[in-house]
Amino acid sequence: MKNLIHTIIFMFGLSVLGQSFILQEDDIQLHFAAGSLAGAIGYHWSYQKHKNKTKAIITALCTSVVAGVAKEVYDDYRGGIFDK
């Protein structure tokens, strides 16, 4: 499991390398902040409840995805363009 997490972090680092301009847009910053905060809260809640790191990581990933989708739906509802 540790190797998988390290591989994911490494791949994420490579994908962000050279693309730092993406985080200059306000909407992208809000997506990143919402996903990070939701993931942190989901991890903390799940770990406190189950005392299992694997479940906590899965919960963190799921809550981040839900937060991202919810923000896209909210943006679409406000009249924005979905995933722009």
Predicted pLDDT of residue 44: 94
- The residue extents of the domains of the chain are 23-84
Residue 8 has pLDDT above 90, yes or no: no
The model's confidence at residue 23, banded by pLDDT at 50, 70 and 90, is low
Alpha-carbon gap, residue 10 to 80, rounded angstroms = 33
Predicted pLDDT of residue 10: 67
Residue 58 has pLDDT above 70, yes or no: yes
Alpha-carbon gap, residue 31 to 29, rounded angstroms = 5
Predicted pLDDT of residue 12: 66
The model's confidence at residue 63, banded by pLDDT at 50, 70 and 90, is very high
Residue 59: closest CA among 47, 80, 42: 42
